[in-house]
Amino acid sequence: MDQGGQAAGIMGLFGKRKFPDDGEPQVPSAEDIKKLVPFAKLNPKQLHQVAEAALFERIPGGPINTGDPEGLVFLHRGRAAVETQGQPRQLLSSDLPASEFALPRGRGLRVHALTPCTLLKIPSRFLVLAGGKLAPKHPIDWRESDTGEQPLLNFYYDIKNGNCELPSMPDLATRIGKVIDDPSTASERIARVIQSDPALATRVMSVVNSASYNTGQPIQNLSQAVSRLGREHIRNLVFSFIVKGMFRTDCTKLKKRMAALWAHSCHVGAIAAILAKHTPGLDPERALLAGLVHDVGIIPILDRAREHPEVLDDPEVLDRLIDQLRDEIGVQTMRHWGFDQQFIDIAARAEDWQRPGDAIPDYVDVVILAQLHAYIGTSRMAELPRIDEVPAFRKLAGGTLTPRGSMMIIDNASREIEELRRLLSAG
C-alpha cells in the first residue's frame, strides 16, 4: 500500500485528523512513541514504523472513544476522567506516569476529556511487535537427561487436554454468594449464613476488627460488619478464608509444598491489600482475594501428580510442569468457580512482569507488585526484575511511587501485613 493509501486506512480506523494551528506537532514522532510503556523497548526502526502509522487527534472536551478494538488511544496532552459503573471516578493527566499507558476500554466504562486534549492513536496490531500481548508458552523442551520422558509427556498432554479435575467451590461459598447477590437479602440474613460456620464467623470478625481495617468504633457482630463494610467487601473476605481449604492435601509428599504455596499466597494477598489501600479505585478486600488465588492453577497440577510417581518424586520436573501449565489451569479454575474476568486475568498473567495493562491500575498490577515485594530476600530475587522496572509500578498509588516510597508503604504496614497473614493462616 502506498503512503496515501496507508494514511486513508488509518483515518478510516480512527476518524479524521484535526490539526488546529496551535503550534503543537501535527504528526507523532518516534520520540513520542518511545515515551509509551508498550513501545519503549522498540529499536529506532520499529519506533519510526509505529510513528508513521500513528496520528494525533485534538478534541475540545467531552467523550473519548476508546472502544475500537483495532486501535490504542493515549492521552498525549490534557486531563481526562474515567468512570466505571460502581467505581469512584478516576482522573488522568498527561503529566503523570499513567499517561504512558493506553486509555482503558471495556463495557460499562466511559472516558471524558475534562480539558482540550490531544490524543495519540496507534493501531493495536503494533502490540505484537512490542510484545505487549502474552505469547503462548511453548511445550516443554525435555532434556536428554530426563528419565521416563514418555510418562512425563503423557502427564503434560493429559492436563493440556483437559483431563484434570478442577477443585470445586465449597457449598458454603456458593450459599453465601447467592444470598449476597440477592439485593433483597438483609444484612441479618447474610450474617446468619456466615454464622452457620462458627469458625468462619470468628475469623471474619477478627479481620474486620484488626489493625488493617481501623474502622474507628469496634464492630460488634456480623450484621453490623455487613452493613458497615458492604456486602461485596464481606464476600471477598469470606471467600478469602474459604479458599484455604483448596490448599490442603492428604498426600505426605505434597504437604510441605502445599503449605509453602498457601503461605506465599497469604503473604502476597496481605501485601496486595495494603497496596490497594494506597491506590484510588481499588478495593483492599478484592486485592486480598486476588493475591490468595493468583496461584490457584498449581493446585490441580499437584493433585494430578499424585497419580504419577515419576513426576512426584522429581521436584525439578514438577516445577517445570507447573511453570508450563499453571496459567492455563488457573484460568480454567477461575471460570469453573464463576469468577469474573478480572480474576481470570489474574490467573493468566500474575507473573507476566512486563504486562503493560492500561492507564487505570487493576488487580493484576497489584498482584504483580505484591509478588515482587513478597520475594524480597528470597532466592527468586536474582531471576526477577526490580520493582521499579515493571509497568505496574508506574501506575499504583496514583503514579507517585518511588522505589523508596514503595518499600516505605510496605515497611510502615508490616504489622498489618503480619496480622493478616496470621489470621489467614490460622485454623
Nearest 5°: the CA angle 266, 307, 141 is 80
187 pLDDT above the threshold of 70: yes
Q: What is the rounded CA–CA span in Å between residue 25 and residue 5?
A: 22
pLDDT score, position 4:
44
Mean pLDDT of 125-152: 56
229 pLDDT above the threshold of 90: no
1 pLDDT above the threshold of 60: no
53 pLDDT above the threshold of 50: yes
Q: What is the rounded CA–CA span in Å between residue 65 and residue 109?
A: 10
65 pLDDT above the threshold of 50: yes
pLDDT score, position 48:
94
Q: What is the rounded CA–CA span in Å between residue 344 and residue 239?
A: 16
Q: What is the rounded CA–CA span in Å between residue 338 and residue 335?
A: 5
Q: By three-state DSSP, how is residue 104 classified? A: coil
Which residue spans within 329-403 are E strands per DSSP?
A: none
pLDDT score, position 18:
44
**Confidence band, pLDDT 50/70/90 cuts, at residue 137:** low
pLDDT score, position 136:
45
Contacts of 31 (CB under 8 A, 6+ apart): none
10 pLDDT above the threshold of 50: no
Q: How far is CA 109 from CA 26, 194, 343, 364, in A?
A: 29, 33, 18, 18
Q: Find the helix packing angle between 231-242 and 222-229, rounded to 10°.
A: 120
Question: In angstroms, how far is CA 26 from the centroid of its own chain?
Answer: 36
Contacts of 152 (CB under 8 A, 6+ apart): 140, 142, 146, 310, 311, 317, 321
Judged by average pLDDT, the poorest of 190-199, 203-212, 296-305 is: 203-212
Mean pLDDT of 22-49: 88
19 pLDDT above the threshold of 90: no
2 pLDDT above the threshold of 50: no
Sheet of strand 62-64, all strands in order from the earlier edge strand to the far edge: 62-64, 109-113, 79-84, 90-93
C-alpha cell at 199: 469458625
pLDDT digits (tens, 9 = 90+) for 347-364: 999 999 999 889 999 999
- Please name the residue that has the C-alpha cell 526502526: 45
Domains defined for the chain, CATH in brackets: 3-130 (2.60.120.10), 169-246 (no CATH)
**Confidence band, pLDDT 50/70/90 cuts, at residue 145:** very low
Cβ–Cβ < 8 Å for 205, 222? yes
pLDDT score, position 30:
95
Q: What is the rounded CA–CA span in Å between residue 111 and residue 113?
A: 7
To 10 degrees, the CA torsion angle through 51, 54, 55, 57?
A: -130
Mean pLDDT of 247-252: 89
Reading phi first (left if > 0) and then psi (alpha if -120 to 50, else beta), residue 272 is in: alpha
Kindly write down the DSSP assignment for every residue of 149-175, as one continuous string. HHHHHHHHHHHHTT-SPPPPPPHHHHH
C-alpha closest to that of 303 among 327, 324, 322: 322
**Confidence band, pLDDT 50/70/90 cuts, at residue 312:** confident
What sign does the dihedral 139-42-126-121 (CA atoms) show?
Answer: positive
Neighbouring CB atoms inside 10 A of 363's CB total 24
Q: By three-state DSSP, how is residue 117 classified? A: strand
Specify burial of residue 180 (Cβ count, 10 A radius: 0-12, 13-18, 19+).
buried
C-alpha cell at 235: 464476600
Q: Residue 324: which H helix or E strand, with range?
A: helix 315-337
Q: What is the rounded CA–CA span in Å between residue 190 and residue 204?
A: 13
pLDDT digits (tens, 9 = 90+) for 88-104: 788 899 998 889 999 99
**Confidence band, pLDDT 50/70/90 cuts, at residue 182:** confident
pLDDT score, position 287:
93
Q: What is the rounded CA–CA span in Å between residue 14 and residue 408?
A: 43
pLDDT digits (tens, 9 = 90+) for 373-425: 999 989 888 899 998 889 998 887 766 777 777 788 888 888 888 888 887 87
Mean pLDDT of 363-372: 95
**Confidence band, pLDDT 50/70/90 cuts, at residue 427:** low
250 pLDDT above the threshold of 50: yes
C-alpha cell at 402: 518511588
What sign does the dihedral 157-161-163-167 (CA atoms) show?
Answer: positive
Mean pLDDT of 312-322: 86
pLDDT digits (tens, 9 = 90+) for 274-286: 999 888 888 888 9
Which residue type is seen at 198?
Answer: P
C-alpha closest to that of 255 among 302, 325, 317: 302
Mean pLDDT of the chain: 83
Across 273-295, b (16+ Cβ under 10 Å) vs e yields bbbbbbbeebbbbbbbbbbbbbb
- Please name the residue that has the C-alpha cell 476529556: 113
